[in-house]
Structure 1
Amino acid sequence: MPSFQKTFLMSSAAAVSGNDHHRRLLPGLLLPLLVAPLVLAGCQKKQTAPHMPPQSVGVITLQTQPVTLETSLPGRTEAYEQAQIRPQVNGVIVSRDFEQGADVKAGQQLFQVYIAPYQAAYDQAKAQLLNAQAAASRASGQLRRYGPLVKAHAVSSQDYDNTLATAREAEAQVAQAKANVEAAAVNLNYTHVRAPIDGRIGRTLYTPGALLTAGQTQPIAVVTRLDPIYVDVNLAAADMLRLKHELAIGQVERKGDDAAAVGLKLEDDSEYPQRGKLQLSEVTVDPATGTLVMRAVFPNPDHLLLPGMFVHAHVREGIDPNGLLVPQVAVQRDPKGNPYVMTVDADNKVQQHSIQTSRTIGTDWLVTDGVKAGDKVIVNGLQKIQPGATVAPQEAPAPAGKAG
């Protein structure tokens, strides 16, 4: 083969070999070129992601205001007087002389028990008294006659002593007969079952024809005096000491010389129109609860209050001119039970403040320390924030029922 042909064939082989190598290198060169735009596109996408706006929260700006201080005490009404009427003699009821649920007066007859046997017993006792009095008169006359005779020795001393003993026995029999008459008169009077007090009588299950037993367990009627009426409340010992101190310095509203005035709220949240007064308290504190029972007395001319009703008594303790009220929904508790609130500072950052509270007033806490007038307390959106977070505060409307 001529030399120029060999040279051409070698060049062609080299060209073919070079093309194969180029095809093998091409995918490796194109892959980085294809990936690079995608990476750049992803970085550009991250850089252009929208920024999340601050969490919106509702706040109220605290302001001092005059606050009426009251201690609210749950309790129940109790009857001022109540008489459970039970029969004192055995017998059958022959009449019922009252209307159930009506007002009765002390001494008014309620029932009449069959009277005949007790009238007969009374008459018999009176007859026995007359017989004893006659025997006593006879013995006394004989004793008077024996007096001069024994001095003249006309009768023996033994006869005189016997006559004296007989006269004294007759006097004793007269006294016994009088006691029997009185007992028969008492039983006779017990057949007229009367009301022992003024009040309102309730329902009864006893009607004419029912048999009564003296001293039976079940009362045949109950008479309750409704005006005035007691209200018994439970009070913590510490609150009792505070009230006594405030009463001594004249801070607590008085009714009378040395009694604290008490208002009353009924079960339907209406205010009772009459004001009462604290009358007494138990002399011991319940060691299990640390409370004692205090008793207030209220006038009840319209009989609006009935025994057993659940009520709230409240004692006015004056006015705090610079009270600071925080809604109860804004107050949270830490794991130890200490109260705190979240506020928003001038940079719209959330701050946590421990507070001290003294009492609830309506839907608010009366706060004595931890926040001040002008602080913005968060009341809405508390579940989505934490201290240090940036928020978008918006003034919230005052909650319904806010005390002022």
Structure 2
Amino acid sequence: MKHSTLALVIASVLSGAVLIGCDKNEDAAGEQAAQQQMPPAVVNVQTVTLDTVPQVQTFSGRTAAYQTADVRPQVNGVIDEVLFREGSNVKKGQPLYRINTDNYASSVTSGQAAVQQAQANYQTALANNANAKAELASRQASLAQAQNDLQRLQGLVSIDAISKQQYEQAQTQVRTAQAAVQSAAAAVGQTQAGIESAKAGIQTAQAGLEASTLDLNRTIVRAPLTGRTDRSSVTAGTLVSAGQPEPLVTISRLDPIYVDISQSSSELLKLRQQIAAGTAQPGMNSVELILEDGSVYPVRGKLALSEAKVDESTGAVTLRAIFPNSNHILLPGMYVTARLTQSVITNAALVPQSAVTRTPKGETQVYIVDENNKIQLRPVTINGTYDGQWVVTDGLQTGDKVVVIGGSKVKPEQEVVVKPLENANPAPSATNAKTPLQAAKTVDKKPAGNDDSNEETKEAAAQ
């Protein structure tokens, strides 16, 4: 009985295994038949064209005033009046503060009196000089008379017509006249020195008057440049002093305005190496600005300078761009994003972002369709984006067909049906056809605001 039951169980198991094997064979056969009946997958491809592509870099930056002046007093005194409205625009030379003038006005009056006194002293010196010259002429006449008398007596003394004592007296008169002439000449020289001293006195008095007048004029504190004022640090009645550390007010010129951009020194080194190796060419100095709210600033700026040193604390190099700012949209200290075409890459391809996939290791690759309409996997090198597409610098050749749509349902060596990607790169008209580089240059030539701002921008860039 037991043997019969065991036989039945074994028979049941064997029959089940046979049935399961039959089912699996049937499923495999059905799958092969389905694969033979399924049509090839359809993929949309884009044909690769190598071109020169601008390399647009994005940097963070902050705006800075084109010019900034801290206004300080140049004389001491009490502020009598504030002559401007805080936060307003002022012109160069416009009065901002008036300092009490009492002390400086009296100094000017004293200076004027000192000049008049010096001029009077000069006239006195001239008169003394004229008198001294007249006295010299008189003494010279007396000397001539004495010499004539001595010469006449010389002949008489030789024949004893006169006494020797008379002749000696005549000689003494000549010597006395000569001494008088010398004294008169010295007096003339002294009065001439008095004239020069009086002239110097006039110059000193005039210098003192000019200094007092300058101080009086400086009681009106004027704007050193055209720009916008911030808050005044003083009010009427405040005592201020020349050269004080705290400015009365700060004026900032906002049109044009600077944007200071920070770029990693390693990125800059890589860029220069690419240019040196010939894989890239120098780009344009046009800069596009993205504001804090994500909007694009309507006017493009120009790159003005690149610092010749690296900040030790950040390892970055500062680039400075200049932008027209006639509407004062940009204010100093604003955080912005700058896009700068620093170089152009030769023999690069633009590929839609959907065509590129990444491996778990981060390597980039694309599917291409070969001449047998089979899928091939191709590693590529990506160098940024341009106009929403990846810039491929290595791995693709002109004429390669890159799978843009349908790549998720195919695998290498699979045969596919190829269709061109519709409107992947709309064909422009003959008159408007542009390469990526030409398009970038066209954008670079957009009007840059009013003429005055453009001229100032060119001057700053030339400096």
What TM-score do you get using the length of structure 1 for normalisation? 0.68
Aligned-residue sequence identity (percent) comes to 28
1:187 aligned to 2:215?
Answer: yes
- Segments of 5+ residues of structure 2 without an aligned counterpart are 36-40, 140-178, 423-435, 440-463
Partner of residue 87 from structure 1, selected from 73, 94, 119:
73
1:128 aligned to 2:114?
Answer: yes
Partner of residue 343 from structure 1, selected from 367, 370, 384:
367
Distance 1:149 1:229, change over 3 A: same
- Map 1:182-331; keep pairs closer than 5 Å: 182-234=210-262, 236=268, 239=271, 262-267=286-291, 268-278=293-303, 280-282=304-306, 284-286=308-310, 292-309=317-334, 310-315=336-341, 323-327=349-353, 330-331=356-357
1:62 aligned to 2:86?
Answer: no
Partners of 1:245 and 1:126 lie apart in 2 by 75
Partners of 2:262 and 2:44 lie apart in 1 by 35
Deviations 1:245-272, CA, capped at 9 Å, x for gaps: 99xx9x97xxxxxxx5625333134333
Q: Which position in structure 1 is the counterpart of 2:401?
A: 374
Q: Which position in structure 2 is the counterpart of 1:97?
A: 83
Deviations 1:226-255, CA, capped at 9 Å, x for gaps: 223334445625647989999xx9x97xxx
- Map 1:13-24; keep pairs closer than 5 Å: none
Q: Which position in structure 1 is the counterpart of 2:94?
A: 108
**3-state DSSP of counterpart to 1:218:** coil
Between 301-310 and 28-37, the greater mean CA deviation after superposition: 28-37
Partners of 1:126 and 1:325 lie apart in 2 by 84
Partner of residue 175 from structure 1, selected from 203, 206, 209:
203
Q: Which position in structure 2 is the counterpart of 1:19?
A: none
Amino acid at match of 1:192: I
Partners of 1:172 and 1:318 lie apart in 2 by 70
Distance 1:70 1:207, change over 3 A: farther
Aligned 8 A contact 1:237 1:292 in 2? no
Partners of 1:270 and 1:211 lie apart in 2 by 47
More helix by share: 2
Amino acid at match of 2:298: P
Distance 1:24 1:301, change over 3 A: closer
**3-state DSSP of counterpart to 1:62:** strand
Partners of 2:220 and 2:338 lie apart in 1 by 42
What TM-score do you get using the length of structure 2 for normalisation? 0.60
Query: How far off is 1:194 after superposition?
Result: 0.8
Aligned 8 A contact 2:289 2:300 in 1? no
Deviations 1:364-389, CA, capped at 9 Å, x for gaps: 3111322464222589979xx9x869
Partners of 1:312 and 1:274 lie apart in 2 by 12
1:145 aligned to 2:171?
Answer: no
Amino acid at match of 1:174: I
Query: How far off is 1:204 after superposition?
Result: 2.2
**3-state DSSP of counterpart to 2:332:** coil
